[in-house]
Amino acid sequence: PPMSDSELYSRLLFPKKHGCPLFHPQPFDDLPEPARKLGTEIGDVGLVTQDGAFDPIFNIRRAIDDPSNR
């Protein structure tokens, strides 16, 4: 049977050790307003929490003083 998009994405990403798949990333309500508006983007660096949520720390593509980098 064919794999779902999320299964395929996970199976391709995990073995390469290029990160953790976040197929439906949702911003936390307690993030700064700029980060909530942007959501998860390419270049985001953060941690995956015990409950599987993504906690962004900064984005490598944005300036260090960008409001979305905390």
pTM: 0.56
User: What would the DSSP string read from start to end of 8-58?
Assistant: HHHHHHGGGTS----SS----TTS-HHHHHH-S-TTEEEEE-TTS-EEEEE
pLDDT digits (tens, 9 = 90+) for 1-51: 788 877 887 788 778 877 776 655 566 677 767 667 777 788 888 888 877
Average pLDDT over residues 57-65: 91
pLDDT of residue 51: 74
Tokens of 20: 């953790």
Rounded CA separation 57/54 (Å): 10
pLDDT of residue 61: 94
pLDDT of residue 68: 75
